[in-house]
A and B are shown apart, each in its own frame.
Chain A
């Protein structure tokens, strides 16, 4: 606070009538009182706005870290904090966009090998509406997996030969083979699993968590997404910002897309030629001028802006530190594989996810979007797994070594499953699979999920679930539960309703997969 009394007369154009001087305008008021007023008004203003992850951080900065009274007030806001002791502090969601086939990955179907090219029995299909893509075929020939499976780990579970690395940590994984969704096409399905609703405009899972949890690290976003370089040219699925948007929640809960390359956060980098000292001086000047403005105008929003400029300056340092891998030991590269050095690869993103988790980012979502194997499935999925298997293994192992797997939830999976029958021409070593919403596989590990188990069963054709179905809503309820939220209580009033991630239909926490 400057202690020079402001002179309204010397400020002819301030939007200030002079009739109602603020306490700050009064020369005889002691500085300490002015400071107190400023804090009080600022706090009141923030509380009136509702607590906001980034805004808290900024506020703490203005008022100094020792502002426990402030944080206590924030805690007294309408309850949306964890409702019971959370198991997870953070999550890393490895999103396999395009929908990996369960047949080649986590739902081993040995009986199919004897049914090559047989037509899928109508009794199994049960009159299901198929997508437009299999409209051009009148037969639905069964395509057994081209890949072999072997029993791995102490849990003695079947693991595809596509996962030589992940197979090593199969005992950490809780594989769910009985997920299902209503959506048969990518756009509605991917929105359903990212936002709980197949129509645009709803907050994503990560946004709900950011809204509910707030930040651990003030200098990094609460929710980060990364898209991965495409290892194959075909079967690429579209992404869009709506998959990680905050919907009707405040935009500050949208993910910050962390980008590969020299500018991990948009516009983070100072313009060419502008050094750090210049930036510091520039911001110092701006903030000083904003403080002067506040004295005249009294709008607490000005203090928010001051805080955000300070935060921006600090992020310009903390983010490059985050993305500078030079402090990683050699063992890191053994874990994640050499591609982790190449910015933007899935391997790089996995390593980055660990670094983000270490620094307290709540929710990191990595998108890998080339699993839409309508054609050439064996060749494509092999490439996909070669690209992603070791880094996934590396991430789990790394988190475990660092003791972080205990409170970091790792999730792997896509938006729906694929059909047992081939789309297009079926050959023993080449085939494609269409979309299939009735069952698909995912896995979770860490943060209180039961390691080394498989949950849910499908029929011999992985066409229908025969035991322990898990709807996408149940998955969401379970993830929120691990963060300490009752999915019915993490709500936000919008359009007159207490909106929630799991919507209005019943959802249950899959307690059987939790420790």
Chain B
């Protein structure tokens, strides 16, 4: 498919096509460093293949995309900058004129002052590289778009001449053999059938074939026998389990939160979702869409919701001192980095702090991506619980059918609501055109209006039209702006911030007044509360008229309006000198007299209900000057709330006047309601009517916006959110309100149905518009610019109509013109099977990544995969049925010399298996493997005290208690993965702690691995069980040896090998014969049953033999 919307595509694409037609060999050879250069007629150098690697490695650090580190304003990574005349010396590159091109002259210079790269860069160009730059300039210095940013095009597989018989079974083989031919290499012959069935079974299921499966294959000489084996394996439930262990690395799945307590996290249903997706051959686009945006689709099935666990796989913390915004920013950063590596093959992390040094990804690009991924409802900390919300609770079986119906209905309603929302601006436009207007609240007697939308600094304005005092200065700690958004980006008081509002709010008990505003009580991890405190007040301590004054107070998430008079004197001297004085500003100090924390004078009216933290609430009260508690009315979000009269003891003469100043967020200078966010805080010297109080949260703001800008198409995102979303759809439009209520009712029903079900973490989009802030040097405290969601500027834009949320992000990824996603995906699948990707740096397709060894094959696979409908099983089938895959993996000296890393695929894949495959193979051949699919994580054997050594004493993953029975023998994909202390036998074999994204594991070979396979009880018990099976399989030594050989290696032993085993057995026999106690001890390893009918010495001896088999390179290697 020819892409149409890629910038500059036509020219670069034509260039590539032209080059490819004439010089495939050169292009490809440069991509594979190990290949010898075969002499060919000289063709023009290619920027991508020959030049960019030199520039990227040596020049882009100072002359690349990052303006922060750019020297001499010179940028060499793109044509539009490279030829621009330069300050002093004209352009750096003059086409066709190397001797006039400073680029060439400077790299050729030997003068320390002139030479490039400069000596302090510690980089030296090779003469050959300098020559290449000179030649490239002489040839016209043509630039190309970086190969991976050009959409893949499937070219026909190359014609291959003289390929050995049987070496071509399909297009893959044509690409591979064409490349081998250019290196003068022949493919290897097909592997023998036993090796083949072992290899493909391991690759598709992660387990070795049983002897019966091997025999069946050997016995089937009809055509298509191999393909039938492949189809059987693809249909096995083991297929999904095996694929999942790779995928879980790409998404960094684990069973604990990761930081501090590192407690258990309930998210295994997501892991089961992944397994199920592979087993049911869910199309890969669907698989990705569900994980990125299942909640927004909206979800019709549990799987679509559970899939969004992907979004929640990041590390979380609950460390007491944690600063939530810092953690939130860091978590988003990790999410973007993981997303970038897994779905784009781009190393985006650098751009969190500055524009990427090598790739064109800007910091703004990074935060635009972040805006897609950070607008979810969970908190950045985990409260140390397994199920920090939002969670999905899977209903129990008996409720599942009912719940599915509710879920489907909810999705239908949600879709209608989404459709209504999508029409929002049109609807409100029509409504306004009909002459309707939102009604403002009269500014009469409005003395204070702190919009708190300044966005920076310490000065806050009083926006009341008739304000006596126009501005106030916050002191003692800076105000924190922009962390959150509501009517506009928010303001937060820090622990010690103070906003003194001077003489405002000076009222007495007989006056009418009203006050309140938008606020968000903020909770921090590790703290059950941030204490109680005053939200808005004019009230002093006991030295100021006994604490007289008025306030809105927060206590245990109830809002309380207090009107406290000075103590009424029985005599004049008492009035001057209060009976009881206390020092100022001691923590916990309160004017409340008695133990339950209530004032004993005046009026105190409290909400009956408590309200949530971390949500925006409009809290407002009116007072009618009646000196009666019933004269106080409390409103939350514009609605009158049920209240309890705590105190109704204001006398006719009691005075609440005070010389304390009015304050936001505290009393006089104590009782701070710390860390609260505020917006649009008001004080009226009149009692607002209930209708007015109802209009305050949104309608008044909407009226203001509409009055200022009647044309809805010109509203900002924030303005549209207030007018359209909050006010019109949320408050006016009956259809939207009805639908929203119905959705909420269905959600309630689902919650009820899943009440006792297994929880799993999911993503839920917030109601507010998505945004992120670009951060100076990535510092959460240095917000520079607010940006909305968007995709990197140098890649094709999202398809028309793609929503501005995670759905849109998925649409963009999956669009045919997206150049990276399909390539990156098929490359990883290739890597799983062949050990190394066609692009070796599976997580980096950027400028600094390695070039593909077979670029045309990669593109062909990418297009093929997409055009197959993203058919995963079909794709793996295509790989493993290729002749390339089926080659023998034996290697000869010349092959090793010419293709040491097997990048040209001149032989079949051969490498040590992943940790999971190894353990599972040992369990499988022993007969111990439990085949149960899914469920809570299993805890197999683990040496004692490993968790204790690192865990907090308070952690619920402090002590590892192994399972008994089945849990010991389940597949490794189910093993409990604690991030702070990962399964040790997995770690020994290079599994990762799943703390950060891992697109490919390193493969090491260490003595510690030998300890695992020789001594880990899991392995030694497997050897014993395998020995028991062998002892039952025959009575002759050779039969028993061959039984084990067939089980573990899928073949029988040759005489030389059998001789080695016999020699070993002589030693074992002698030892256990004379040490019967040792023999019995040997059999005590592991929980599984010892066959009492067998002689201990003989079983011990055979256990050692079986252990030898399990330690053979051949067993450990695919």
Contacts and interface: CB of A to CB of B under 8 A. Distances in A.
Interface of A: 2, 4, 6-7, 10-23, 37, 41, 44-45, 48, 52, 54-55, 122, 127, 129-139, 184-187, 198-201, 227, 230, 233, 236-242, 245, 250-252, 256-257, 259, 261, 263, 265-275, 277-279, 281-282, 284-286, 288-290, 292-293, 296-302, 304-305, 308-309, 311-312, 315, 374, 434-435, 488-489, 495-497
B833 to A, nearest CB: 16
A198 B945 CA distance: 27
Contact of A136 (B530, B781, B911): B530
Central interface residue in B317, B888, B1061, by most chain A CB within 10 Å: B888
Given A187-B259, A266-B943, A488-B122, A273 B1081 contact: yes
B262 interface: yes
Contacts of A497: 350, 357, 848
12 contacts: A44-B897, A132-B322, A186-B321, A278-B1071, A286-B1112, A292-B1057, A301-B910, A301-B1005, A312-B1008, A495-B843, A496-B847, A497-B848
B993 A266 contact: no
A17 B1015 contact: no
Interface stretch (B269-277, B390-398, B946-954): B946-954
A139 B587 contact: yes
Central interface residue in A130, A233, A289, A298, by most chain B CB within 10 Å: A289
A24 B1008 CA distance: 30
Interface stretch (B437-445, B653-661, B979-987): B979-987
Nearest to A128: B477
Given A185-B321, A200-B996, A17 B888 contact: yes
A227 B1067 CA distance: 40
A132 B1061 CA distance: 65
Contacts of A285: 1060-1061, 1063-1064, 1108
B1054 A11 contact: yes
B1009 interface: yes
A187 B1005 contact: no
Given A293-B1113, A496-B848, A242 B188 contact: no
B890 A270 contact: no
Contacts of B1084: 272-273
A154 B1050 CA distance: 74
A321 B1078 CA distance: 23
A238 B1052 contact: no
B1051 A273 contact: no
A269 B1015 contact: yes
A435 B322 CA distance: 11
Contacts of A311: 1007, 1010
A171 B949 CA distance: 34
B37 to A, nearest CB: 18
Central interface residue in B890, B1064, B1075, by most chain A CB within 10 Å: B890
A273 B1080 contact: yes
A299 B888 CA distance: 12
B896 A13 contact: no
Nearest to B778: A199
Given A44-B896, A282-B1014, A265 B1064 contact: no
Contact of A495 (B350, B911, B1009): B350
Contact of B1011 (A227, A233, A265): A265
Contacts of B949: 227, 239, 257, 259
B300 interface: no
A230 B844 CA distance: 43
Contact of B1015 (A184, A242, A268, A289): A268
Helix, strand, loop or mixed for chain B's interface? loop
B89 interface: no
Nearest to A491: B122
Interface string B892-914: 11011100110000001011100
Central interface residue in B56, B674, B952, B1010, by most chain A CB within 10 Å: B1010
A309 B1010 contact: yes
Given A233-B953, A238-B980, A282-B1104, A15 B888 contact: yes
Contacts of A302: 1113
A48 B985 contact: no
B321 A435 contact: yes
B974 interface: no
Contacts of B1054: 7, 10-12
Contact of A496 (B357, B527, B891): B357
Given A13-B194, A266-B943, A285-B1064, A48 B1108 contact: no
B891 A299 contact: yes
B433 to A, nearest CB: 49
A185 B319 contact: yes
B403 interface: no
B1006 interface: yes
B249 interface: no
Contact of A132 (B320, B496, B900, B1080): B320
A296 B953 CA distance: 54
A396 B757 CA distance: 58
Given A286-B1112, A292-B1056, A241 B1017 contact: no
B872 interface: no
Central interface residue in A6, A245, A278, by most chain B CB within 10 Å: A278
B826 interface: no
Contact of A309 (B194, B1104, B1111): B1111
Interface in B668-696: 670, 672, 674-675
Nearest to B476: A122
A374 to B, nearest CB: 8
B953 A236 contact: yes
A308 B896 contact: no
B326 to A, nearest CB: 8
Contacts of A200: 258, 315, 993, 995-996
Contacts of A237: 952
A109 to B, nearest CB: 23
Interface string B1075-1118: 10111111111000000000000001000100110011110110
B889 A241 contact: no
A139 B979 contact: no
Contact of A298 (B892, B987, B1004, B1081): B892
Interface string B848-863: 1100000000000000
A178 B361 CA distance: 38
Contacts of B311: none
Interface string B175-207: 000000000000011111011000000000000
